[in-house]
């Protein structure tokens, strides 16, 4: 699938409009895979790596929603900001999930980039729980969106 960047924008539009559903499904499958890996890493007490995978599960779930709009973002901050603007502030998704996503982003950033960050099981489990909650919400949203199009 080709992606085209809109002039002057960090947003990329899909070139082939007929594949929105396939892209959404692929991104959701990727989110679920990332979550499974995060849970496995938690079991192995690899909390830093689990934080990364749980965060990416969140990112890919958000990207699945954007796929239905024919959008993709190169930068995570753009994907999250647009999700919050278009879906959380409008209460399509609850405001609480927006706060949890922000917290997940902070944890992942610290876990990946702060030399002296010590990941703990409680915080890592919180991140994985947020990922799971968001994935379930996104699955329901996408199903409803596809049903409405039919």
Across 9-16, average pLDDT: 45
Give the tens place of pLDDT for each residue, 13-57.
444 444 899 999 999 999 999 999 999 999 999 999 999 999 999
Domains, the chain, ranges and CATH?
A: 12-149 (1.20.120.330)
Would you state the structure tokens that stand for residue 60, as one six-digit string?
A: 């890919």
SS3 content of the chain, % helix, strand, coil (to 5): 75, 5, 20
pTM recorded for the entire structure: 0.86
Backbone φ and ψ for 70, nearest 5 degrees, come out as 75, 25
pLDDT at residue 77 above 50? yes
Give the sign of the dihedral formed by CA 130, CA 29, CA 56, CA 119.
positive
pLDDT at residue 62 above 80? yes
Confidence band for 148, pLDDT divided at 50, 70 and 90? confident
How many residues are given for the chain?
150
Give the tens place of pLDDT for each residue, 99-133.
999 999 999 999 999 999 999 999 999 999 999 99
Q: How many Å apart are CA 43 and CA 131, to the nearest integer?
A: 16
3-state SS record for 71-102: EEECCHHHHHHHHHHHHHCCCCCCHHHHHHHH
């Amino acid at each position: 699938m080709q992606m085209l960047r809109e002039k002057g924008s960090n947003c990329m539009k899909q070139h082939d409009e007929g594949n929105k559903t396939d892209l959404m499904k692929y991104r959701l499958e990727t989110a679920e895979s990332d979550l499974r890996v995060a849970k496995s890493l938690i079991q192995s007490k690899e909390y830093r790596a689990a934080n990364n995978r749980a965060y990416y599960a969140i990112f890919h779930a958000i990207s699945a929603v954007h796929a239905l709009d024919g959008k993709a973002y190169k930068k995570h901050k753009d994907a999250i900001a647009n999700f919050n603007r278009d879906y959380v502030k409008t209460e399509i998704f609850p405001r609480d999930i927006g706060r949890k996503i922000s917290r997940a982003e902070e944890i992942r950033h610290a876990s990946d980039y702060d030399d002296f960050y010590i990941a703990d099981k409680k915080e890592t489990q919180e991140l994985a729980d947020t990922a799971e909650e968001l994935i379930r919400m996104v699955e329901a949203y996408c199903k409803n969106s596809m049903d409405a199009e039919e």
